[in-house]
Amino acid sequence: MDELNNKIEFKSDDFVLVQQGTRITDKKLDTKPTTFAKDAFKRFCKNKSSVAGAIIIGVIMLLTFLVPWLSTANITKVSAGEAFLAPKLFEAGTGFWDGTRKKTRVIYDTENEVPALSDKYTKATIKNSLVKLKIDEEPTLVDVMNPYGHGGYVMFATDVYAPDSVLLASQPVVIDRSGNYRLKVEFGNDEGILESQLGEYSVVLFDQEGNKLYYIRNFSRDYSDLDVNLSNILDRAGVDSVNARICFELKGSENSLQYILVKSVEVSADEGVKNSEILGEISFNDANAMVGVSDNKSNSYWICSGRKGVHACEVYYCDYVIDTYMLVYGNADLVTYSATELNDWISKGWCSYDYKVGPESFVRLTDDCPIDEVDSQVVMKVTKKLSSISGRGWNYRKYGYNKMPRFLLGTTASGHDLFKKAFAGLRTSTILGIFAASICFSFGLVWGSISGYFGGTVDIAMERFCEILSGVPSLVVFTLAILHFGNTFGVFLMVICLTGWMGTAHRTRVQFYRFKGREYILASRTLGSSDMRLIFKHILPNSMGTIITGAVLMIPSTVFTEASLAYLNLGLQGKESFGVLMSSHQQYLPLYPNLVVFPAVIIALIEISFNLFGNGLRDAFNPSLKGSE
């Protein structure tokens, strides 16, 4: 209560007149003046997502114009050897974005100890390029001939559902009493085959005229192993020597195909018989090789009147990770190059070589030369001309690189750098978009201003025109225009502008309707402003934000339209086109997803960031938000 009693007293001396004696004039404002643009920018910056969008757009646009210009990669000439390289950012072996490609369940070539890849690459190159290899521990049994398979059974079968017998006959071989000729046959019984289909067969000796000489095993279903001495049989038959074919005869059936399975045939004799070579050819213990591989003679040493297949041959599968760059550009141990290739290098001045002197005469002159040294050469016997050389070196030189190339997004089917290709296409789309946006903006602005400012009959007439024009689905316009005038850049620009300006026109018209009745316009008009002044000084600046936003958003929509048209086979021709790139890569989605995924990510990023950017821009330019926090 003390405070209340303590009254504060003021005397007139306590007060001083602040401005006594000074002249009061207008003062400059202390706060900084702001313009519409500055204010809009300030408000735009407050919207974090829009700023992020703007930055992404900036980066993409920078890449769009810089990458095709700066990158030296060739994107016009087809280079099939470099096709489908994996994207590479880091060194191989890092496990992520490292230019390797993983494959599972690939047949393993047990002989060369590499996965069975295309013949384009030598085994040594494949071995060098492998990053990881995991071979199945257990072989897989397959019923078809496989060049990398082993073992199994020869599946000898009747050709059709018929009761006729079929024959599997060896080449004729001379058998005599003295040579101690033996025939060993291993049969298989029911592995994986219906038992009812295992047929009745005989093993029989035919003479060259086709007469049956002797039944070693008469028609039966006995699939136990056979081991007979043929010389003893001759002995019993009372013949000295015979030129006979060893035959398997299989009885047919009308109800089902009939099979027998033969695992191996071995015809042997004492040392020193003169036909031991052919005996070895007739013998086989690898059914897969016997049936399939053409350079294995035993195939042609058996004549078959039915069908001959492989059953349960062993194939090893493997999973591997391979460095695609090493595969294509890698260190190739002893690669054979033709004389034409060598002459080409010599004529380009890459190296010098004299085949008459031999491999020692090889001199590497420039870094472009694909090989470092020549190992051996082949000279044609008749013409005495060089046919080929074998050399060691880095393959990338063959493709004209000085060091191992690195493609950030991999390469396309034509061996082009996807990174450059994508951005070159994007550049076309963006330029198209910028042109289209500026044309549509200018025309739409004029149209919309006239329609909106003057209103009345003019407006109605112009609106009806727009209504009919916008009633035509844009796809129809595109299709007809492209069919009539071709799919060139100019036609695309024309067609996009043909309907594109209506968006700007509509927006402008709405803005004009919104502002032309305002008091400040009326005030200006009463002060004697002309229509021109009203439009350009008062209405347009206020409505510009919305209109510009709309025009800017035409750029991503053009990129999108161009890509969509390419998917409808109406893509832009004659220039690098993003849409054509994407749509033509769609077929590689299962095998080489990077070719689709990267462009897809780029276009999705563009659309998303432009959307964000557009939202921010719209808010920033909205004059009704001016000054509000």
Partner 1 sequence: MAKYVIKRLILAFVTTFIILSISYVLCKLLPFDRPIGGDQQQIAYFDKQYSLGYVARFEVERDDYGPLLYKSPLERGRRNYYYQVPVLKQYTSWLKNICTKWDWGYSKSFQPNVSASVIIMSRVGYSIKLNFFSAILSVPLGILLGIWAALKKNTMTDHTISTLVMVFISVPNFVLISFMLRIFAYRLNWLPSTWPTDTASAGTKVLGYIIPVFCLSVGSICSYCRYVRAELCEILESDFLLLARTKGLTRKQAIVRHALKNAMVPIFPWILGEIIGLLSGSMILESLYGIPGIGKLFITVLNYKDFDILFVDMAILTTISTVSGVVLDLSYGFIDPRIRMGAKK
Residues at the contact surface with partner 1, assessed by CB under 8 A: 467-468, 471-473, 475-476, 479-480, 483-484, 560, 563-564, 567-570, 582-583, 586, 589-590, 593, 596-597, 600, 603-604, 607-608, 610-612
**Alpha carbons 187 and 478: distance in angstroms, whole number:** 70
Supply the minimum distance, in Å, between the C-beta of residue 597 and partner 1.
Answer: 7
Supply the minimum distance, in Å, between the C-beta of residue 560 and partner 1.
Answer: 6
Supply the minimum distance, in Å, between the C-beta of residue 615 and partner 1.
Answer: 8
Q: Among candidates 344, 346, 338, which has minimal Cα distance to 385?
A: 338
Supply the minimum distance, in Å, between the C-beta of residue 582 and partner 1.
Answer: 7
Count Cα neighbours of 73 within 13 Å in the Cβ-side half-sphere: 27
Please say which residue, 328 or 617, places its beta carbon nearer to partner 1. Answer: 617
Cβ neighbours of residue 489 closer than 8 Å, sequence gap 6 or more: 428, 432, 572, 574, 575
**Alpha carbons 169 and 172: distance in angstroms, whole number:** 9
> Residue 314: in which H helix or E strand, if any?
strand 313-315
**Alpha carbons 350 and 362: distance in angstroms, whole number:** 11
Whether residue 231 contacts residue 181, with contact meaning beta carbons closer than 8 Å, is answered with yes
Please say which residue, 370 or 410, places its beta carbon nearer to partner 1. Answer: 410
Grouping H, G, I as helix, E, B as strand and the rest as coil, residue 96 is coil
Supply the minimum distance, in Å, between the C-beta of residue 64 and partner 1.
Answer: 18
Please say which residue, 151 or 550, places its beta carbon nearer to partner 1. Answer: 550
Supply the minimum distance, in Å, between the C-beta of residue 409 and partner 1.
Answer: 15
DSSP labels, 454-522 = H-HHHHHHHHHHHHHHHHS-HHHHHHHHHHHH-S-HHHHHHHHHHHHHHHHHHHHHHHHHHHTTSHHHH
Q: Could you identify the residue written with the tokens 């958003």?
A: 553
Supply the minimum distance, in Å, between the C-beta of residue 601 and partner 1.
Answer: 8
What are the backbone dihedrals phi and psi of residue 80, each rounded to the nearest 5 degrees, phi first? -60, -30
**Alpha carbons 406 and 187: distance in angstroms, whole number:** 56
**Alpha carbons 486 and 69: distance in angstroms, whole number:** 28
Please say which residue, 287 or 612, places its beta carbon nearer to partner 1. Answer: 612
- Triad 485, 488, 489: Cα angle to 5°: 125
Please say which residue, 493 or 595, places its beta carbon nearer to partner 1. Answer: 595
Supply the minimum distance, in Å, between the C-beta of residue 463 and partner 1.
Answer: 12
Cβ neighbours of residue 518 closer than 8 Å, sequence gap 6 or more: none
Find the DSSP H helices in 71-182. Answer: 123-129
Please say which residue, 257 or 597, places its beta carbon nearer to partner 1. Answer: 597
Cβ neighbours of residue 204 closer than 8 Å, sequence gap 6 or more: 212, 213, 214, 215, 216, 247, 248, 249
Please say which residue, 228 or 498, places its beta carbon nearer to partner 1. Answer: 498
Supply the minimum distance, in Å, between the C-beta of residue 224 and partner 1.
Answer: 45
Q: Among candidates 596, 560, 591, which has minimal Cα distance to 581?
A: 596
Please say which residue, 106 or 293, places its beta carbon nearer to partner 1. Answer: 106
Please say which residue, 89 or 591, places its beta carbon nearer to partner 1. Answer: 591
Please say which residue, 250 or 321, places its beta carbon nearer to partner 1. Answer: 321
Supply the minimum distance, in Å, between the C-beta of residue 471 and partner 1.
Answer: 5
Supply the minimum distance, in Å, between the C-beta of residue 549 and partner 1.
Answer: 16
Please say which residue, 246 or 563, places its beta carbon nearer to partner 1. Answer: 563
Provide the greatest CA pair distance for the chain.
161
Supply the minimum distance, in Å, between the C-beta of residue 482 and partner 1.
Answer: 10
Please say which residue, 263 or 506, places its beta carbon nearer to partner 1. Answer: 506
Supply the minimum distance, in Å, between the C-beta of residue 479 and partner 1.
Answer: 7
The count of other CB atoms within 10 Å of the CB of residue 457 is 8
Please say which residue, 49 or 366, places its beta carbon nearer to partner 1. Answer: 49
Tell me the residue ranges of DSSP E strands in 143-237. 153-157, 166-170, 173-176, 182-188, 201-207, 212-220, 226-229
What are the backbone dihedrals phi and psi of residue 148, each rounded to the nearest 5 degrees, phi first? -110, 15
SS3 content of the chain, % helix, strand, coil (to 5): 45, 20, 35
**Alpha carbons 564 and 478: distance in angstroms, whole number:** 11
Angle between helix 474-485 and helix 489-515 axes, rounded to 10 deg? 150
Supply the minimum distance, in Å, between the C-beta of residue 586 and partner 1.
Answer: 6
Please say which residue, 238 or 517, places its beta carbon nearer to partner 1. Answer: 517
* Rg (the chain; Cα; Å): 43
Supply the minimum distance, in Å, between the C-beta of residue 585 and partner 1.
Answer: 9
**Alpha carbons 464 and 513: distance in angstroms, whole number:** 17
Whether residue 260 contacts residue 187, with contact meaning beta carbons closer than 8 Å, is answered with yes
Please say which residue, 23 or 484, places its beta carbon nearer to partner 1. Answer: 484
